[in-house]
Amino acid sequence: MFINADFGRQVIIPSDTLPWVASPVAGVERRMLDRIGGEKARATTIVRYAPGSGFTEHAHAGGEEILVLDGVFSDENGDYPAGTYIRNPSGSSHTPFSKNGCTLFVKLHQFDHDDVTQIRIDTLQATWYSGVTPGLSVLPLHAHGTENVALVRWAPGTHFNRHRHWGGEEILVLEGTFQDEHGIYPAGTWMRSPHLSGHTPFSVEGCLIYVKTGHLLLAAEQFHDEAIRAMA
């Protein structure tokens, strides 16, 4: 299966316009943003757990990255309310579930082989830092190699300088409205911009965004290799 799998092209999706697709587990549904592979895939997805739903124990080949968007996500190690950022490296395993339901932003099979740090961050309690531009506040979540992940809060009326994305940029708008010279992106919008793309972002009303940069060169190479195998 290939969904938005050409990482050399920009993709902009209002995620709440996508249909919910049933997973193999009753009560768990998905909105697929990008995907290379079948049920076990390199994938970026919005996942919704109905109350009382969950998976059996499973391992994370290629790693699992989660941002809890609403509700409470759980596993045998604890409960993770909205705002929790989670990284489960390759080789780890757990038995996830949700007692009362939750919605997650999930990225699977996208870790470098030597990215082995397990992370749990309550972003509602963590320390934020001033950004390089007045009006920006930044909460770093993870850095490994060329990849950097953060939450960025934009005060109303904040403008950033024009810049290019070495290694690409991925954004999920969590609150408010994010903008650039190309368009207006309300909460729920997912954007993926390729290596060396550029823009001049700003926010009139203010917003909160998840941002990952520097991670799409390897993905572009993987898409090329998978496409060749599919045509063979």
Confirm whether 17 is domain-assigned: yes
Is the pLDDT assigned to residue 182 strictly greater than 90? yes
Q: What is the mean pLDDT of residues 89-108?
A: 96
106 and 182 both lie in a single domain: no
Contact by Cβ (8 Å): 193, 146:
no
Confirm whether 228 is domain-assigned: no
78 and 51 both lie in a single domain: yes
Is the pLDDT assigned to residue 92 strictly greater than 70? yes
Could you give the dihedral angle defined by the CA atoms of residues 12, 167, 219 and 128, in that order, rounded to the nearest 10 degrees? -70
* Least confident interval from 35-39, 211-215, 227-231: 227-231
pLDDT in tens, 12-31: 999 999 999 999 999 999 99
What range defines the domain where residue 108 resides? 2-122
Q: Which residue has the higher pLDDT, 214 or 230?
A: 214
Contact by Cβ (8 Å): 141, 85:
yes
User: So what's the pLDDT on residue 222?
Assistant: 58
111 and 135 both lie in a single domain: no
| Closest among 141, 57, 143, 49 to 98, alpha carbons compared | 49
Q: Which residue has the higher pLDDT, 77 or 218?
A: 77
Residue-averaged pLDDT of the chain = 92
109 and 12 both lie in a single domain: yes
d(CA 29, CA 21): 5
pLDDT in tens, 67-83: 999 999 999 999 999 99
d(CA 44, CA 228): 22
159 and 91 both lie in a single domain: no
User: So what's the pLDDT on residue 13?
Assistant: 98
Return the percentage of the chain with pLDDT > 70, whole number: 94
User: So what's the pLDDT on residue 228?
Assistant: 39
Decide which of 91, 122, 153 is a domain's last residue.
122
Tell me, what CATH number does 62's domain have? 2.60.120.10
Cα distances (angstroms) measured from residue 196 to each of 35, 91, 162, 182, 214: 22, 33, 12, 16, 10
User: So what's the pLDDT on residue 220?
Assistant: 59
Q: How confident is the model at residue 211 (pLDDT cuts 50, 70, 90)?
A: very high
Q: What's the structural domain count of the chain? A: 2
User: So what's the pLDDT on residue 75?
Assistant: 95
What is the model's pTM? 0.94
d(CA 74, CA 88): 13
User: So what's the pLDDT on residue 232?
Assistant: 39
User: So what's the pLDDT on residue 1?
Assistant: 87
Decide which of 122, 156, 187 is a domain's last residue.
122
Contact by Cβ (8 Å): 120, 66:
no
Extract long-range pairs of 182-189: CB within 8 Å, 24+ residues apart. 183/12, 185/12, 186/14, 188/14, 188/15, 188/16, 189/12, 189/13, 189/14, 189/15
Q: What residues have CB less than 8 Å from 221, skipping those under 6 apart? A: none
116 and 69 both lie in a single domain: yes
18 and 80 both lie in a single domain: yes
